[in-house]
Amino acid sequence: MQRLSCIFWLGLKEMMSLRRDWVMMALLVWSFTLAPMMEATGVATSVNNASIAFSDEDNSPLSRALATAFFPPEFQPVVQIEPGSGPAQMDAGEFIFIVVVPPGFEKDLRARRKPEIQVLIDATAMEQAGIGASYITNILGAEIRRFAIGVDLVDPPLVDVILRSAFNPNRDTVRFAGIVALIGQIMWLTTILTGAAMIREREHGTIEHLLAMPLTPFDIAAAKIWANAAIVLIAASLSLTFVMQGALGIEISGSKGLFLFGTALFLFTATALGVFLATIARSMAQFALLVMLIVLPMLMLSGGETPVEGQPDWLQVGTLLLPSRHYMAASQAIVFKGAGLETVWPEFIWMALLGAVLLATSLVLFRRSVE
């Protein structure tokens, strides 16, 4: 009982200290307001505002109709370029897509000679190139087919496919990017805050002061863990309400409470990571460098930035050991798909287990480092 009370009061001290540390406060505010907003609205991962040019050597009604089939926001207005100048302009990075319509395209089509349209794609534009290519092929194909049906070249197809985008009917990217950004910030901030609090205590010599009192290393670490986890949890729920739902207008399909519960589970892992890194770093500067080397890969491999299916098979197995991957999966299921506890419980169990292991390890290491 007395120990719990000590841990409680030490944790409260932690919060009062943070309030006066303006560097950390600035980082906290930035991380939960502007940073996720910029990330959410800044980069569109799907085809957006793509640059496209037409090298129209046919100049027929059909080829002109093809050029009018591309609309914003996916595409910029089509630019007509001189035949043959395409590759050079693509080298200079002016266009990602160039559609080359050969001479006599419409005539050959009517004569059933199967003419060919080429679509040049800048394959170095990774995220845009793949999706954009299938967009353009589909748009051109549909346009040509409509023309062909109109002039009785072919019959309408018998089977049609209706594509429905579940959970995200408008293919909105802001919601996804916003939540992923928030999760990333939660991870960064928790690790940094907890670790920095540990190191500050050591650099100011107050840790010895604490250890000379009836406190154990466990009490000291536990106080830091609960206090910083609570700070981040509060900041994250405020950010969820006011920045995500408020400013960005993001709709949360599932239960906010369940998401925050998952976050709380994850925070044990992240705070434990902070304690761990603070134990091995000799100074605040070393800690800052270590955080960048450890947290960035954990985030990149969590499945938020790119789908887990894109990782090599061996890595997909390996990343199962990353709590961040389970947190990301559970959060996406709750926020985007409205999943409940009956769906996400396996991820929660994973997080709890991994968090417990990491926490136990870092507490043992911390204890060893101060003794």
Of 112-131, binders to other proteins (CB under 8 A) are 112, 114-131
In whole angstroms, the minimum distance from the beta carbon of 92 to other proteins comes to 7
- Residue with the two structure tokens 């961040």: 324
Among 57, 64, 65, 76, binds other proteins (CB under 8 A): 76
- The verdict on whether omega for the bond into residue 73 sits within 30 degrees of 0, i.e. cis, is yes
| Site residue total, other proteins (CB under 8 A) | 133
Q: Which is nearer to other proteins, 130 or 257 (CB)?
A: 130
In whole angstroms, the minimum distance from the beta carbon of 24 to other proteins comes to 9
In whole angstroms, the minimum distance from the beta carbon of 213 to other proteins comes to 6
Measured between alpha carbons, how far is 125 from 39 in angstroms, rounded to an integer?
19
Q: Which is nearer to other proteins, 42 or 356 (CB)?
A: 42
Among 59, 138, 241, 361, binds other proteins (CB under 8 A): 138
In whole angstroms, the minimum distance from the beta carbon of 322 to other proteins comes to 11
Measured between alpha carbons, how far is 361 from 367 in angstroms, rounded to an integer?
10
In whole angstroms, how far apart are CA 15 and each of 203, 226, 272? 18, 10, 18
Residues within window 281-340 making contact with other proteins, judged by CB under 8 A: 281-290, 292-293, 296-297, 300-301, 305-307, 309-312, 315, 329, 332-333, 336-339
Instruction: Kindly state whether residue 109 participates in binding other proteins, applying the rule CB under 8 A.
Output: yes
**Long-range Cβ contact pairs of 363-371 (< 8 A, separation 24 or more):** 363/217, 363/218, 363/221, 363/272, 363/275, 365/276, 365/279, 365/280, 366/198, 366/217, 366/221, 366/275, 366/276, 366/278, 366/279, 367/216, 367/217, 367/218, 369/279, 370/207, 370/211, 370/217, 371/217
Among 4, 25, 38, 349, binds other proteins (CB under 8 A): 38
Binding mask 4-23 for other proteins (x = CB under 8 A): -xx--xx--x--xx-xxx-x
How far is residue 215 CA from its own chain's centroid?
Answer: 41
Among 59, 80, 134, 241, binds other proteins (CB under 8 A): 134
Q: Which is nearer to other proteins, 2 or 82 (CB)?
A: 2
Residues within window 179-208 making contact with other proteins, judged by CB under 8 A: 192, 196, 204-206, 208
Q: Which is nearer to other proteins, 87 or 246 (CB)?
A: 87
Q: Which stretch binds other proteins (CB under 8 A): 210-218, 224-232, 255-263, 355-363?
A: 210-218
In whole angstroms, the minimum distance from the beta carbon of 63 to other proteins comes to 11
Q: Are β-strands 97-101 and 79-80 bridged in parallel, bridged antiparallel, or unpaired?
A: unpaired
In whole angstroms, the minimum distance from the beta carbon of 211 to other proteins comes to 6
Structure tokens at 162: 């209706």
Consecutive H or E run containing 89 = helix 86-91
In whole angstroms, the minimum distance from the beta carbon of 364 to other proteins comes to 15
Measured between alpha carbons, how far is 13 from 168 in angstroms, rounded to an integer?
44
Which positions ≥6 away from 4 have C-beta within 8 Å? none
Measured between alpha carbons, how far is 199 from 107 in angstroms, rounded to an integer?
76
